Amino acid sequence: MAEVVIVPDARAAGALVADAIARVIEVRPDTVLGLATGSTPLPVYEALRGRLAGTDLSLVRGFALDEYVGIDPAHPQSYRSVISREVVDPLGLDPARVHVPDGSPEGIEHAGADYEAAIEAAGGVDLQILGIGTDGHIGFNEPGSSFASVTRVKTLTEQTRRDNARFFASIDDVPMHCITQGLGTILRARHLVLLAFGEGKAAAVAAAVEGPLSASSPGSAIQLHPHATVVLDEAAATDLALADYYRYAYANKPAWQRL
Ligand code: GLP
């Protein structure tokens, strides 16, 4: 089962996860980070700015989880733009070392296989940051996604398009398709760190952490991973049956064990 850490707020979560990332980079300067978009990981990226100040990040590599298909890469809401704006530019990473799936329609039929090959050539992802959608998706693996899936094109659910409409002028501007790492791709990362904040995520979090393994609940794939950490605020933890145990286990965590 995943380790569940319940913290007071998103800021505390950001600091905790940024510290774990910084320690990985200290040991391995060419760490491969798995980068997520959406609003959830922003406190991590914010905290990393301070935590990594003065650290040589010239060798750090990154792979984003997903991208919209057909969006202009220069559009402020393309995931390429978001990753540049929130991660690459503020941290001063080498843009050539940070990859985002290619969502351009030309060549889309082999973009998934190309991305899988690039991840493999990099030696795999060391630490994968994840958010979770209100319908339980991770990356853009909507309900029904195979646990063995690899990077491929998916059709977004109406719910995801509605959720993401806040980033666009209207829901009609939210692309219909995306290219996303598969659940099988995500499960190959060496450490998964899933974050969720707010009551709106409570049901999806409970299904992912404690629900049955099911393609209908893509986040439940994390239960198959030997090193998964789930970092939540109190509101996102509301529906967890074992919340008291998670608090107790974390409070009594052996000092030598890290996140
Ligand atoms: C987006 C992304 C996911 C993200 C999720 C939740 O559509 N593709 O990677 O985890 O939906 O978004 P947010 O963090 O904004 O709630």
Residues 86-96: tens digit of each pLDDT:
999 999 999 99
Nearest atom within ligand 1 for CA of residue 38:
15
Given the residues 67, 86, 126, 135, select the one marked as catalytic.
135
Planar angle of CA 163, 83, 180, nearest 5 degrees: 60
- Long-range own/partner contacts, residues 7-10 (CB < 8 A, 24 or more apart): 7/231, 7/232, 7/233, 8/233, 8/234, 9/197, 9/233, 10/43, 10/197, 10/233
Q: How confident is the model at residue 158 (pLDDT cuts 50, 70, 90)?
A: very high
Going from the C-alpha of 47 to that of each of 31, 98, 134, 154, the distances in angstroms are: 18, 19, 25, 32
- Distance from residue 222's CA to the centre of ligand 1 (Å): 16
Interhelix angle 10-27/42-51, nearest 10 degrees: 50
pLDDT at position 239: 98
Which residue out of 17, 35, 39, 40 has the highest number of ligand 1 atoms within 8 Å of its CB and is therefore the one to mutate?
40
**Distance between CA atoms of residues 43 and 17, nearest Å:** 9
Q: How confident is the model at residue 4 (pLDDT cuts 50, 70, 90)?
A: very high
Segment 21-62, tens digit of pLDDT? 999 999 999 999 999 999 999 999 999 999 999 999 999 999
pLDDT at position 98: 98
- Distance from residue 254's CA to the centre of ligand 1 (Å): 32
- Distance from residue 97's CA to the centre of ligand 1 (Å): 23
pLDDT at position 23: 97
- The whole-number average pLDDT for the span 215-239 is 98
pLDDT at position 257: 87
CB 132 near ligand 1, within 6 Å = yes
**Distance between CA atoms of residues 191 and 157, nearest Å:** 28
